[in-house]
Amino acid sequence: MDTTVCEDCGDFVRCNYAEVFGGADDKRLVAKVLGAADTGCRLCQAIVNKFKSLQPDLLLVAHANGQRATFRWFARPYGNSNMISPEDWERTFLAVSILELQVEFRMWRVTDGSAAGASFDDHNTGSEPSFTRAAKWLRECMLEHDNCNQVNIPRGWVPHRLLNTGLRSPFPDMIKLEETKGWQTPVRYAALSHCWGDIQPLKLLQSNLHTLVHGIPLGDLPKSFQDAVHTVRMLGIQYLWIDSLCIIQDSKKDWDIESSLMTYVYGGSMLNIAAAASNDCMGGLFQNRQSSYLGPCLLSVASRDRVSILRYQLYDQNLWNAEFESAKLNTRAWVVQERMLSPRTLAFTKTQLFWECRCKRACDEFPSGYPVEYFDKPPMTFELPSLDSKLKTQALIGKEDSRLGESLTMQLSLAWHNLVMLYSRQNITFEQDQLVALSGLTILFAQQGGGDYLAGLWKPTLLSDLLWEASAYKYPRRRSLTYRAPSWSWASMDCPVNYVLGRVMSNRVTILDVNIQTMVGSSQWGRVTGGYLRLQGKLFPNLSVVFRRDLERFSLGKRGINCTIPIARCIPDERDHQEGSVANIESGLLCLPLVSYMNTSRAAGYSCELGLVLSHEGGQSRGHYRRWGIFEVEHSEFFEDSGNQASSEWYVNGEEGIIVII
């Protein structure tokens, strides 16, 4: 149903081309916005509802203090912008600020029948209409999305244990754990992604295995598990996989076996159910909601000449991120692979259901699917490049990259680097699980030709994989106190890491040997206990680094060639805080150039040397080194093709040698 807007909003929507294209502003008393919302202006209502959902008291404070709301309006024309009028503009961004808080919306010009939203008035995300929509999404995906129905698991494979939810049982109040050994017929099942939280969920232990196999009352399960059982029943799915109930939690052997099968568990599921509204197992999937905050907002506005009526659809610019992406669930390291490996995800958030598959994104507010222009990235599902297809890992790439036209190996490397950057920003409860929680995706990479796996890196692309750097904007930056990888692996760090955009032009070192040891009884994807890397190349001892807030400089080699920002970078892996005005000097380090590199992180790419900064390892490992950081020096200033004789001599006179990094 269309609604009209107040006079102020109508005038604002009708502002002229020059104002909107440059960004138009409008300031109104908060009291006036509240009054217009009360008298039926749908645009003001949407703004008020959004502020209330974020900070309930902010509007009251702003109103009491006579504050104003700032409306800022940006339009994006299409076609020839010199020939069209504002009425023809296809999409517009509206930002509204009150005090320190800003909310953002998009407005789309719509024609008859083109509005994307749907009206609903149910007040709980577990309502029958919600399940009707979810069932429709699932049915449509199963029948029409060929891409979503392609699986990379052995035919007929099922998890070793599944929960029978009693879909067709005469005892619906009971569920039981079934061991699937000997099953001849594959079954459809759903998996649950949830936060364990501080409240430990009911767990499968060696002591209660017999009890769970014989069945337990549904009411004995935590609320999130009960809601998951209800969900699969409503969707006609009989079996459910929940990590805490399908893996024996006090058996290291069982945990090691089952945790290595996540590629198949989630990849073979019919559906992944995400408990995105809860911070622990007791929060449940289903949440009460105010339906007045939801649904389409269709606005009718008179044209500038007042002859015709223009129709716009308004929706929250940050809805997907605020409700789904920012949920605590999606900050868990384990959930990265759970979400990427699953062909479909049905997420229960605080306000509505969200759907994500390889072909579509939707929610209660947009049941037919989000407007494709809403997202900068495709769905966060995961499909690797194969020998007979182009790169499909767009969820990780996000935008065009110069390496997309290169070999399958380089495409895999690009996807892996983007995955590492995403994964390193997630939280993990047990530090030793850092690599294990990624093993499902790791196995998938290996199946597609990734090569030998080396504690978070890959042998075919090892030199480029070594070029990670600790986030320069994250403090403190430090290595894990619990050993989980050699110092040259990003997995040794307890902070986000980045990879420099670009490509390797030539190698500066030769890889002589590399070795990784894993825990006895663990697979190559399991927990790492040791490792080393032996390289041959030009070594530059006596490196000193000077850090200060306004200065970063390092001196290279015996002659002390000075490198200063911005033509050089030296980023230490560990740093407790941002440096103050007093210089901090570290010396006695070793510089090892790894590759000649084309850095494309700037608009105009540039060639440079990238390599490792190393520190001596004492004790029994004398002669061995640990990674200290990474350095970059631009060719145009410091190397042979620069015409700088001193720097040319510095590079030529490097000491050829063999080095072991642990």
**One-letter-per-residue 3-state SS of 73-101:** EEEECCCCCCCCCHHHCCEEEEEEEECCE
Instruction: Spell out the residues 6+ positions from residue 373 whose beta carbon is closer than 8 angstroms to its own.
Output: 91
Residue 43, judged by CB atoms within 10 A of its CB (0-12, 13-18, 19+), counts as buried
The span from the CA of 426 to the CA of 330, in Å, is: 8
Here the tokens at position 157 are 């494979």
Could you tell me the sign of the dihedral formed by the alpha carbons of 359, 361, 364, 370, in that order? negative
| Coil/strand/helix, residue 403 | helix
pLDDT score for 433: 92
Here the tokens at position 3 are 């609604």
Nearest to 538 by CA among 645, 644, 410, 639: 639
Domain ranges of the chain: 3-109, 128-288+323-374, 449-661
Which secondary-structure segment (H or E) carries 357? strand 353-357
For residue 607, give the amino acid letter. Answer: S
Residue-wise pLDDT for 190-216, tens only, equals 999 999 888 888 899 999 999 999 999
Residue-wise pLDDT for 257-311, tens only, equals 999 999 999 999 999 999 999 999 999 999 998 765 566 677 777 777 777 777 7
**pTM, to two decimals:** 0.83
Strand 510-518 to 528-548 pairing? antiparallel
User: 8-12, 16-20, 59-63 — which is least confidently predicted?
Assistant: 16-20
Here the tokens at position 494 are 């307890």
Task: Calculate the CA 21 to chain-centre distance.
Answer: 32
User: 106-115, 230-239, 304-313, 575-584 — which is least confidently predicted?
Assistant: 575-584
The span from the CA of 151 to the CA of 243, in Å, is: 21
Length of the chain in terms of residues written: 662
Residue-wise pLDDT for 31-64, tens only, equals 999 999 999 888 898 899 889 888 889 999 999 9
pLDDT score for 17: 46
Note whether 470 and 572 are within 8 A (CB).
yes
Q: Is the pLDDT of residue 649 over 80?
A: no
Here the tokens at position 587 are 């010396």
Note whether 72 and 94 are within 8 A (CB).
yes
